[in-house]
Amino acid sequence: MLKSFNIYSYLDIMFNRRNFLSKMGMLTAGLTVHGISKGLSQQKRPKSKGPIVLSTWDAGLEANVPAWAILEKGGLALDAVEQGVRHTEDSINCCVGLGANPDRDGHVTLDASIMDHNYNCGAVAFLERIKHPVSVARRVMEKTPHVMLVGEGAQQFAIAEGFTLEPEKLSTAAQAAYSNWLQQSQYKSPSINRGNQHDHGPFAPTRLQNGEWNHDTIGMLAMDLHGNLSASCTTSGAGFKMRGRVGDSPIIGAGLFVDNSVGACVATGQGEDVIRVAGASTVVELIRQGRTPQQACAEVIQRIIDIKKERSKDIQVAFIALSIQGGVGSFAIHPGFSFAYKDAQRSELVKAQSWFK
């Protein structure tokens, strides 16, 4: 359940506790640049603050559960972020997995990515009829010399790896939404008005007929007991998008990025505007320069607003970030974005700060 508490105080408690460590991180990064330090791999890391898992939107609360089951047993962050978002890929919702809304030609096309603590990464885009794109992304990472496979080739690879080719059939909810959309059949990029109709911000959750929360793209960040970070992201992208459209989610450095010496970030919202600023990697680079995760997310959102100017009112973008010291941050353009946080003490939905109030 959403707890009513002040995001400033919540994040400040976390940041103040970790500010000292993050300054130390800045110092060692500087030394590394000048070749004086022993190198990051040999440096003594602060004791791990893990396990921690956080994920985007309200549905992240449920996705964190299977992720946590792995983390609390001392499992790998990589396994946690894969299993966590698979839970969302299995559910029927507007925006993740085969039950999601189709493109404007009526086909569900999926994008996903995953990255571990050793700069290993894998992604799939424009993938059809495969239930767990995040797991295909992991196979791309582990079994090919490549980082990304798309479309037919990604599907062929998935089948060769033993994934089932599912029938092409829209979920009941997606069929209804698509029929509704076809009445107008006007292509528009995802609009803030969609969410505002439900008073919950753009790309935002509404209740499905069965009472479950609907939601958007799921992105997940985890730190395991060993202090290693991983990230995952999976989505059907923008509902009723142009056929062939790929967003930020499968693009390493835009939708997701992990640098285990610094931190990790994942993005949600209008992918085109995340790609423009190399969103997730820019957030991580700012953390490297000494910003807290919160400051880094806010700064990249500000950059998007500076680029989009007036048009910022029509788009939503949000970032969540986790530093290697265990600091957490999030910032969105518009209100309505929440992320789900879990560690050994707490499991809660946190309302992100936003540029527009």
Give 40-70 as a DSSP string: GGGSPPPPP---EEEEESTTHHHHHHHHHHH
Which of 22, 55, 235, 323 is close enough to bind ligand SD4 by CB under 6 A?
A: 235
DSSP symbol at 234? E
State yes or no: residue 269 binds ligand SD4 (CB under 6 A): yes
Site membership for ligand SD4, residue 339 (CB under 6 A) = no
Q: Which stretch binds ligand SD4 (CB under 6 A): 30-38, 99-107, 231-239, 344-352?
A: 231-239
Do residues 266 and 233 touch, judged by C-beta distance below 8 A? yes
54 part of the interface to ligand SD4, by CB under 6 A: no
What is the spatial distance between Cα 224 and Cα 334, in angstroms, rounded to a whole number?
Answer: 31
214 forms part of the interface with ligand SD4 (CB under 6 A) = no
Q: Determine the Cα–Cα distance for residues 265 and 85; give it in Å rounded to an integer.
A: 15
Q: Annotated catalytic, 217?
A: yes
What does DSSP assign to residue 285? H
Q: Structure tokens of 273? A: 């505007």
Does residue 60 interact with ligand SD4 by CB under 6 A? no
Question: What span, in angstroms and rounded, lies between the C-alpha atoms of 333 and 240?
Answer: 23
Q: In what order do the strands lie in the sheet with 263-269?
A: 256-259, 263-269, 317-323, 328-332, 353-354
Cα 333 to Cα 198: distance, rounded to the nearest angstrom: 17
The footprint of ligand SD4 on residues 170-209 (CB under 6 A) is 203
User: Shortest gap between Cβ of 101 and ligand SD4 (angstroms)?
Assistant: 11
Binding segment for ligand SD4 (CB under 6 A), chosen from 23-31, 34-42, 121-129, 266-274, is 266-274
Q: How many CB atoms lie within 10 A of CB 47?
A: 10
Q: Return d(Cα 307, Cα 122) in angstroms, integer.
A: 29
Q: What is the smallest separation between the CB atom of 344 and ligand SD4, expressed in angstroms?
A: 29
Q: Select the span of 58-66, 230-238, 256-264, 306-314 touching ligand SD4 (CB under 6 A).
A: 230-238
Q: Give the integer Cα–Cα distance in Å for 270 and 146.
A: 26
Point out which span in 41-49, 120-128, 267-275, 304-312 binds ligand SD4 (CB under 6 A): 267-275
Of 217, 234, 268, 282, catalytic: 217
248 binds ligand SD4 (CB under 6 A): yes
The residue from 25, 66, 227, 237 that contacts ligand SD4 (CB under 6 A) is 237
Query: Which residues contribute to the site for ligand SD4 (CB under 6 A)?
Result: 203, 216-217, 235, 237-238, 247-249, 268-271
